[in-house]
Amino acid sequence: MARRSATHTPARGSSDRGGAPAWSIVTHIIRSLRPEQWTKNLIVFAGLLFAQKLFNPVALARTLTAFAAFCALSGVVYIVNDIFDREADRLHPTKAKRPIASGALSPGLAGAVAAVLGSGALAVSFYLGTWFGVVAASYLVLQTLYSGPLKHIVILDVLTIAIGFVLRAIAGAVVIDAPISHWLLVVTILLALFLALSKRRHELVMLADGAVGHRPILGEYSPYLLDQMISVVTASTLVAYIFYCISPETTEKFGTDLLGLTIPFPLYGIFRYLYLVHRREGGGSPSQMLLNDRPLLVCVALWALVVVVIVYRPFGV
């Protein structure tokens, strides 16, 4: 009996640690990188699209590599953020299920993964070019600072998120040596502010009385204040995009004044997003809303298709 028990216990232990847990750890690491959020890095392709290099194989390959580098860097940022916020996340109804907050993934192992992945992504970034590497490193530093002190400073917290999107857009232009349009920067930061403020509003409304306990900075905001900010940014985003489409500079660059035909798409997309925020209690994750809401996804896809047709004129438009 004793001999049978001695062999049974080790076998069980080796099965638990040698099989499922190893795969489980890999799964938890991948979940912590949040691949479902990587759609935010698609802004890297804006430079390729509007520089009229979408069908240039070299430029496309470099942009795809840049996109992969930023996916890795954003994954690193998510891990760092989860390590810093693990105590607060345990009080959140959904974030408590994240691997680090739930205890399924140790902070030490997660930090080691982040260090290796971040070093590799930065090495690839500097291989693509010095300026691209500088932009990528700036993004990583800024977003790491956001995970620390910047997320606790009112207004600066959402501005930091928005600047992160701007750095992605700049990186997409730098990696293919395309000129950086001031229109691209203006529209990007305004749209990013719109998404960041909507996310703050969602957190504040969803968490109600427990909002401050989860994220202290939410105590500095109110639904009314955020609605005012969102209104300003919404109008500014639409006006900036409209002026971009009809500006003589744009007409001269693309040799057509038809880009104004794309204006209905951002109008519908932003209004649809506001509808989801106010009537469907959405806004917590812009990436998930884009992927899960079919009308919004179709709107973005049609916008991209129409832009390609107008800018590249494959049918002699």
- Give the per-residue pLDDT at 48: 94
In the chain, the amino acid numbered 245 is: C
- The rounded distance, in Å, linking the Cα atoms of 72 and 82 is 15
Write the pLDDT tens digit of every residue in 150-203: 888 999 999 999 999 999 999 999 999 999 889 989 999 999 999 999 888 888
* Burial (0-12, 13-18, 19+ Cβ within 10 Å), 135: buried
The answer to whether 32 and 99 are in contact (CB under 8 A) is yes
* Burial (0-12, 13-18, 19+ Cβ within 10 Å), 177: middle
Assign 148 a pLDDT band (cuts: 50, 70, 90). confident
Assign 16 a pLDDT band (cuts: 50, 70, 90). very low
All residues at 6 or more sequence positions from 250 whose CB lies less than 8 Å from its CB, including other chains = 183, 244, 259
As a CATH number, domain 36-178 is 1.10.357.140
In the chain, the amino acid numbered 306 is: V
Residue ranges in 56-179 assigned as alpha helix (H)? 57-84, 86-89, 99-102, 107-128, 130-147, 156-174
Q: What is the pTM of this model?
A: 0.85
Write the pLDDT tens digit of every residue in 253-281: 999 999 999 999 999 999 999 998 888 77
All residues at 6 or more sequence positions from 315 whose CB lies less than 8 Å from its CB, including other chains = 309
